[in-house]
Structure 1
Amino acid sequence: MSDKKDDKEAAPAKKKGGMMKLIIIIVGGLVIVGGGVGAGVYAATSGMLGGGKHGAEAENGYKLVPKSEQKRISAAAGEGGEGHGSGGGGEAPPPGQGGDQYASNYYTMDKEFTSNLQDSVHFIQVGIAISTPYDDTVITNLKTNEIAVRSAILMTLSDTTEDQVFTNQGKQILQKRLVKSINDTLKQKEGFGGIGNVYFTNFVVQ
């Protein structure tokens, strides 16, 4: 009789243990799935999956312009005419390998810059054009703060040595210094830089 009673008591215990294992397996599966979804959302919002700041919307609402939307010269419009992508008369180039991911939005500063070189009897005169991968908001910021930007450029030029203006390597270093000084000025004034590169449209040392 006692053996039969023990068997009856063991049966519910086994059922209860099996249920606990099943619950643990289900909960564990939900945790794994939830963690995977959370990781995917984090990766997308942080830019790891092509979203975040490197997607259509960039930092502080400044928009990166896709290469397909780059402004292009229209042959039909003649000099000064602009087309946008394949519309507006300008034809988009055939797809190829490499190249920049985003368009280059250019702005040429009206007046040239003239400055003495550091510890030198020579002076430098340069024309400057600026490019940004962002939309026209950055160019608007540049125009709005052009006086402050011109001052920053002149100070950078006056802090340049002869060694940096007589070699291509030195000129490339000067380009990077100018990019930094312009971006620093725009960050101070507008909270965002956005300048990608500086180009010399004229470069004279006398």
Structure 2
Amino acid sequence: MSDKPEEPAPKKKGKMKKILVAVLGAGILIGGGVGAGLYAAGSGLIGGGAHAGPAEDPNKPKLVPKSEQKHAGEGGEGGEGGGEHGGGGEGEGEAAASENHGAPTPAGSGGEKFASNYYAMEKDFTSNLQESVHVVQVGVAVSTPYDDKVITNLKTNDIAVRSAILMALGDTTEDQVFSSDGKKLLQKRLVAAINQVLKEKEGFGGISNVYFTNFVVQ
């Protein structure tokens, strides 16, 4: 009959509104949390900031500006300029040095930008010359614009380095040892040979120059 009471509809609508409000509220909270996280990361509060680069390897040798150079007798290795190369020489100069066996970057008329760390290798090297009856005997010293880690790597791999030097000397001709240009070319070959060993053993070369402390042809 027409007197039967109808089902109340407003309650269902009220429940739906509550569900929608709850969903929207959760979405706002989640969105706000994500936005706050992104803001914190971008401002450097989380993860070192947007400009944070890769962590620097603490074991990698460092270039040392001349201003931080030690004086002889303060930890140098067999020569003047035995200074350690601190972190102040990073940037374009360090990148250029790394690409050129660790050679220092020239600083115009004022000389080289980085200090030189010298080390004289123990014992002379004696080798037959290529296709010759002559024998060459040389004393070898090296220099690096990096800190003592390069010298330490050189000492650690002394046997392998000495072998590489002897092989390079064995490939040397008479023409090279009897002329200044030939000796300069031999210096460059020895630099490459030493750095190749250090890169294979330690992952880093760093030797910029080789010097002859003794040079005798017999």
TM-score, normalising length from structure 2?
0.58
Structure 2 counterpart SS, 1:72: coil
Closer/same/farther in 2, CA of residues 58 and 169 from structure 1, 3 Å limit: farther
Counterpart in the other structure of 1:64: 63
Is it true that 1:151 corresponds to 2:168 in the alignment? no
Counterpart in the other structure of 1:183: 195
Greater C-alpha Rg:
2
Structure 1 counterpart SS, 2:138: strand
Closer/same/farther in 2, CA of residues 81 and 127 from structure 1, 3 Å limit: closer
Higher relative contact order (CA 8 A, sep 6+): 2
The code of the aligned residue for 2:121 comes to: M
TM-score, normalising length from structure 1?
0.61
Shift of 1:133: 0.4
Distance in 2 (CA, whole Å) between partners of 1:82 and 1:162 is: 33
Closer/same/farther in 2, CA of residues 205 and 104 from structure 1, 3 Å limit: same
Structure 2 counterpart SS, 1:61: coil
Q: Give runs of aligned pairs for residues 121-140 of structure 1, distance below 5 A.
A: 121-140=133-152
Contact 2:124 2:138 in 1 (8 A): yes
Distance in 2 (CA, whole Å) between partners of 1:81 and 1:181 is: 24
Shift of 1:84: 6.4
Counterpart in the other structure of 2:185: 173
> Residues 135-188 of structure 1: CA distance to partner in whole angstroms, max 9, x if unpaired?
000000000000000000000000000010000000000000000000000001
Contact 2:168 2:190 in 1 (8 A): yes
Distance in 1 (CA, whole Å) between partners of 2:179 and 2:126 is: 19
Closer/same/farther in 2, CA of residues 191 and 199 from structure 1, 3 Å limit: same
Aligned pair count reads 140
Q: Give runs of aligned pairs for residues 81-92 of structure 1, distance below 5 A.
A: none
Contact 2:138 2:215 in 1 (8 A): yes
> Residues 94-113 of structure 1: CA distance to partner in whole angstroms, max 9, x if unpaired?
xx942111000010001000
Identity of aligned residues (%): 70
Structure 2 counterpart SS, 1:71: coil
Shift of 1:72: 2.2
Closer/same/farther in 2, CA of residues 204 and 83 from structure 1, 3 Å limit: closer
Counterpart in the other structure of 1:142: 154
5+ long unaligned stretches in structure 1: 1-40, 46-56, 86-95
